[in-house]
Every structure is written in structure tokens, then in C-alpha cells.
Structure 1
């Protein structure tokens, strides 16, 4: 098996960032998680620790939790990333201006040989690369939620991404015992474009009274062998996240990705899925 990168920086310690940090730390990397303040930093470390404890309980951790946690550091500035960082994964919210600002700052901090990656699920990797002086060292590494349990990393290649950058990303993906798909940068890549199309149509079916959410999900789970239905998955991803991706695809690919009225209404009501306790299902 290929070796995981020795030193990894993860910018953003939310659910996705913490999962990415946990996965690299468990594979042997030293990981620095960057968060914005004391409270966010403490919450990020708690997410990593909780995830490691769950992995240990399921027999999926090769070392004691406390040993892995020793490889995780928390910082409150991109400027605190170790200068010998091999890989930086940006995992902040889907805001292009925020991402480009953070990536440019991270590039100035790490060495010229470091690879920078965005965990974006829909934004243009080509556009994000415009903020960088070394776009050849940049690509998309789209992790899936929950990161430790998910098998897939989608590698998104922009026109300027160098072949050796892709090769390094593929080796790191395999070092995490995950599988890769390599796609050309395009709106929604492969996974989000197809996943959102299915999810939006399922929401329209609920809106039109075709069937209840559970029935629609069961149809896809039992009839097509999906591990879970599109509406339960929407609850897990977050209705606000799904709406933001749909808005981007609507703007770039047209009417077929127009967000349904029901999705907008639920987001406006704060019914965002599992994280708020209510979405298409009740999670309380």
C-alpha cells in the first residue's frame, strides 16, 4: 500500500473537515486542523476524538485512540500550518470567495512542492485555481460524508493540474483504503451532478403528492439496490447544502436543476435534516 502524506493540513473543522482529519491521522499522518477561534477549534478536536472512539468501538482503528490523537494539532490561523506540509485540504463552506482567499493564503505558507486540494462538492476547481500562483499543484479531492466510513474520493482535475499532482492524490487516496474516480472539472463533477438530479426529482415527487418520502426511498433502496434513498441522503447531507449545490448547477447547467419550491421552503423554515432534527424525516 502507498504511504499517506506525512504532514497534512485541513482547513475547516466541521463535520467534513473533522472526518478528513480523523481519516488521515488514523492512516499515520500528522494533521493540523485550522479553525477560526477557540470554541470552533475545541469543537473540531471533539469531533475528531468522537469519530476515533466510534471507529475503535467498531474495530476499525489499528491503534489506541489516544495514540492517534497525539498526531492531531489544532490551529487558529492558516499561517500556523507546518511549512513542511505535504497536502492541504480546504474544507470550508461552499463559498467561492472564501475558498479562494483561504487557498491563496495557504499556498503562501507551505512549500512549492505541497499539493493543495479543495473538498468542494460542486464549485469550479478551475475557477478556484485562478487564485493560485502554482495551479499545477492544485486539484479537487471531494470526500464523502461520513468521511471515515465512505469508500470514495472523487479526484477533480482542472486544465492546469499537473500529472504528478494527480498521481500523488491517487496514491494518498489508496493509502486511506479508499477508491477513486477521476473526473474532469465540470459543474457538479460526476457525483454531485447525478446525485442532486436524483434528489431534486425525489423532492418534486413529494411536493406533487406522488408518494411519501419513505415510499420513494424504499423504491430506490429495494428496487435499485441503493444503500439509502435520495431523501434520507438529502437529510444526511443537509437540505441547505443540497440547495446551495442545486442553485450552482441551476446557474451553470440550466432549468433541469431548478430547486423545487418544497426544498426552498424547508430550508427557510430551518428544517435542514439530521443536523436540526427535522428534514424529510424526523431525527429527534
Structure 2
């Protein structure tokens, strides 16, 4: 159930000198939501710029990192953009020893309505928090089996899956492209813990095995990528974000736009 106006398929846009022009072009191709990666949000104004540069798409940070921007800054951004009806706030917990406590404190102080708020969540406690204190959850680097379990945990709350994609059919090249971000993300405790929770072994994670890469990153033909997106939807995802690797957002978006057209 699309309660946030995201549509069924969105796309992650890398911040670049042309990202606002790219967004306008992708909007004309039918994409209904744009996501800015949290690590590229050097200023919250980039989100406002993206909202004002487009006409119909919903804009979501994926995610605003708690601990980098204050609740006052985040609240001011939401107040500025809420009237457009095209902004949803995505938040992620701080990289601290007690991330749940830090996120809970941030939410206590944040003046943003929960029905326009999504939380990055992988484990059961974060999913519970997303269900109780937000409109739903965002999962990254997850399998369709995780999606099914998250749907059960969230009940009717919104479930977003951020899916890495590589439009490349050569296995060696596709997996090499996928391993570039995974080589760092696999060292982040929260992701590693969830990989193990999903049934991967320490060796899978340490070696970035083909089994791990193929399960977490959709690569190959448009049809093969569409099949993975469909698996997440069938497992209970309300919205799937296509996060292109190895190609610019605009080039990958043009190639993937037929997924959006066919989903409507």
C-alpha cells in the first residue's frame, strides 16, 4: 500500500554537477521518487534543491544520518518542504555503541510527523521502532527472504527496499562492480550482523563470495533485474529503490525506465 506517494519503483540519484538536470530527465521517463544517498548529502539544502527542480516526484534522503545533522536542522528542512507534499524524511541511526538509544533520543526531539518519516532498519529491534515511531522502514543490502520477514514484523507499515543494481551481463565485470561498495559496507557492523542473520557465513562476508554478491546485488539484463524487483514486491515490499552501480544515475535510469513503465 503506497501511503507516501512513492510509487512502486524509485531511483537513487548520485550528487553530481548535473544531478538536478538528471532528475528532471528521469522524471520525464516516469520515475516517481528520487533518493539521495546519505553519504552524499553534504548539506540538507540539496534535498530542497531536488524538490524545487522537479514537478511531481517525491524526494527522500536515503538517509539523513543522525548525528551529522541536528534535529533543528532536519525539522527546519521538513517544515520548508512539507507544503509541497513531495518530501518524505528518511533517517538512519548513529554509528555509535548504542545506536538504538541515539536514534530514540533523536526521535524524541524531532518535530516531524511520523506519517512522513521512514527509518533505516535491518534487525528486529529497529524494525519494531520503525513500526511504532515512523511510517515504516528502509532496508538496504537485503534478500527477498528478509523482505518477507520484515513485512511480517512491520504489519501494515510502509516497507522500502533499496536494491543495488548493475546493468551488466558479464558475471566477472558485474560482480567486480558490485564488490566495490560491498568491500566497505561489509565491514560496517550492522550490515555484517544482518548478513549473518540472513544465513550467510563469515567466509561469505569476508571473501565477498559470489553467493553473497548475487543475493544482494541484482545484475544482468533488464529482465533479470526486473525479476529481482518483482521478488521483493511479491515478498511484501511497497517500494523498491533502484540504486545503480558502475554507471551514472541518468544512464542507468534510462536503461531501467522500462521497469517503471511496466510497473504502472
Higher gyration radius (CA): 1
* TM-score > 0.5 by shorter chain: no
TM-score normalised per structure 2: 0.38
TM-score normalised per structure 1: 0.36
Q: Which has the higher relative contact order, 1 or 2, with Cα contacts under 8 A spaced 6 or more apart?
A: 2
